[in-house]
Amino acid sequence: MQLLRRNTDFVFLSASFLLTVFYLLLFIPVSDAGDGPAYLRYAQTLIENGDTGAFIQRAPLYPWFLSLFISAFGTVVAIKIVFVVQYFLLFISIALLYDILIVLFSKKSLAMCAALIAMVNLSGIFYGFMLLTETMTMFLLIMTIWFLYNGINKSSLICIFLSGILGSAMVLTRFNTLPLLLIFIGIIFLFEFIMKGSNLRISIYNLVIFIVPVLFIINGYAFMNYQKHNFYGLFPTGGSVLVSRNALIATLDGKEEVSGEYLAVLDIFMTAENQYKEKKLVERKGSLIRFDRLRFTEKLYKGFPVYTAALPELCRFFNINPDKPEPEISGKLAPFYHEIYKLNNNKIWGMRGLSLLSSFRSSTGLVIFGLPDINLGKLPAWIIMGYKLIVIAVSVMVFLISIMYLILCVFKAVKVNWTVILFILIIFGFFLINFVFAAESNSNRFKYPAEPFIISLSVYYFYIAFMYLKRKKIDF
């Protein structure tokens, strides 16, 4: 039996490694799509010790990571190196996930099955060849959870401390993950105080061990922004800290009774919206937009392009340098956003609902805008569409069953599996962030780091159902 377990580890690592090499041979790096060019400019500005004010709303760690390779090898070679590094980050991430799944399933063969499915997830493959933050964010999330999980189970203060450092690094890679730090704090207290039955003093002590590096790193970056850009925080919030700027803009219809000083601002946004309406959303291969009869997609994607179109005129109106609008433009528009938040509160709740629904979608369309015939874009439309439908079905299933499981746990109808609870908290954390902050068109992409956990729970739930049908006694 021990030999079989060792063989399972070998088979998993070998298969995962071969898949990594296969991806590297099959695909080519893409740096000129999406936010890739912006990250390259940010990295080059860091190398030249230039003013990074134009990139103040972007998390700094990924551009800094790029700058290390660009300064040493040049941009062209650096892009190829990062391409390789990202696929190996995927490999390491899934290997760490596999280690946790062994505890969840108690069977290495099932853990291997779930981990390999996560390894061949098309979204993971996609972000591996894209010059985007998603792969690094997922890697840092899984690393954080792995250290946190082992720190709690093995009472290792070093692991808990390292999880605080890695969690902070994750936030500085994608700002939208900041609220997850509260989830991690909740996990430490829940697992220490309830699962392990530790006394309150030990639970608080472990919380402090986690929080200290978080406060040091996050506040360190916020203080750097104060010194360089005259505001204290990770990024300029613009309007309400609880709603994304793009979601607020998406609720505008021109009928808002704003203060007289902001009538011109409203007109600028409505002019930009009219320009947006003249353009049709591009339907890529395998797109599900054709089924959107209620035009939800248009509402989800409206905010950012309208803001982008309005920005030059807003800069002229407020006499702000358009090459470096932040954080000044956010400060000027903050009172306007506050008024819109109060006036369009019902619409904002609608945007929250749409953002939550959008979280169930695939985190990527797989086909690159402007480069439709490379990498995964070569797949037939029916495969792309089928994959997206499967993602929606699996995500909804995991979401609903997880809610049922939590209810059963509350009423003590099932034995609590704390690894399942951990996964549910992480998944629900991303969904809750998208809902509360109304992440609109970004919500499906923002939840990408949670996809390995969604896949893992889906395999686990199918396994439980299969065992139940075989009428075998199981612990949920």
| Residue-wise pLDDT tens digits, 91-142 | 999 999 999 999 888 788 999 999 999 999 999 999 999 999 999 999 999 9
Q: Are residues 159 and 181 in the same domain?
A: yes
pLDDT of residue 3: 44
Q: Calculate the alpha carbon distances from 227 to 60, 220, 221, 230 in Å.
A: 16, 11, 10, 6
Q: Are residues 18 and 139 in the same domain?
A: yes
Domain assignment present for 213: yes
Q: Are residues 52 and 177 in the same domain?
A: yes
pLDDT tens, position by position, 209-232: 999 999 999 999 999 999 988 888
Q: Are residues 338 and 375 in the same domain?
A: no
Q: Are residues 252 and 324 in the same domain?
A: yes
Question: Looking at 298, 332, 357, which one is the last position of a domain?
Answer: 357
Question: What's the domain range around 438?
Answer: 2-235+361-469
Domain assignment present for 381: yes
pLDDT tens, position by position, 228-244: 888 888 887 655 667 88
Across the chain, mean pLDDT equals 90
Domain assignment present for 399: yes
pLDDT tens, position by position, 175-198: 999 999 999 999 999 888 888 777
pLDDT of residue 151: 94
Q: Are residues 56 and 197 in the same domain?
A: yes
Q: Is the pLDDT of residue 1 over 50?
A: no
Q: Are residues 339 and 315 in the same domain?
A: yes
Domain assignment present for 476: no
pLDDT tens, position by position, 26-67: 999 999 998 999 999 999 999 999 888 888 889 999 999 999
Q: Are residues 220 and 91 in the same domain?
A: yes
pLDDT of residue 297: 79
Q: Are residues 158 and 139 in the same domain?
A: yes
Q: Are residues 119 and 264 in the same domain?
A: no
Whole-number Å distance between alpha carbons of 64 and 22: 28
Q: Are residues 348 and 424 in the same domain?
A: no
Confidence grade of residue 372 (pLDDT, cut at 50, 70, 90): confident
Q: Is 68 exposed, middle or buried (0-12, 13-18, 19+ CB in 10 A)?
A: middle
Domain assignment present for 51: yes
CB within 8 Å of 470: residues ≥ 6 apart: none
CB 425, CB 186: distance < 8 Å: yes
pLDDT of residue 236: 78
Question: Looking at 303, 324, 357, which one is the last position of a domain?
Answer: 357
pLDDT of residue 405: 95
% the chain with pLDDT above 90: 66
Question: Looking at 298, 324, 357, which one is the last position of a domain?
Answer: 357
pLDDT of residue 35: 92
pLDDT of residue 311: 92
Q: Out of 176-185, 326-335, 369-378, 381-390, which region has the weakest mean confidence (pLDDT)?
A: 326-335
pLDDT tens, position by position, 306-365: 999 999 999 999 999 888 888 888 888 989 999 999 999 999 999 999 999 999 999 999
Domain assignment present for 240: no
Backbone angles phi, psi at 30, to 5 degrees: -125, 115
Domains of the chain: total: 2
The sign one gets for the Cα dihedral 320, 326, 332, 338 is positive
pLDDT of residue 473: 56
pLDDT of residue 239: 54
pLDDT tens, position by position, 400-456: 999 999 999 999 888 889 999 999 999 999 999 999 998 888 899 999 999 999 999
Confidence grade of residue 68 (pLDDT, cut at 50, 70, 90): very high
Domain assignment present for 93: yes
Number of alpha carbons in the 13 Å side-chain half-sphere of residue 375: 23
Domain assignment present for 265: yes
Q: Are residues 213 and 260 in the same domain?
A: no
Whole-number Å distance between alpha carbons of 201 and 213: 19
Instruction: Return the closest-CA partner of residue 192 out of 215, 209, 169.
Output: 209
CB 387, CB 361: distance < 8 Å: no
Confidence grade of residue 4 (pLDDT, cut at 50, 70, 90): very low
Instruction: Return the closest-CA partner of residue 426 out of 141, 196, 134.
Output: 141
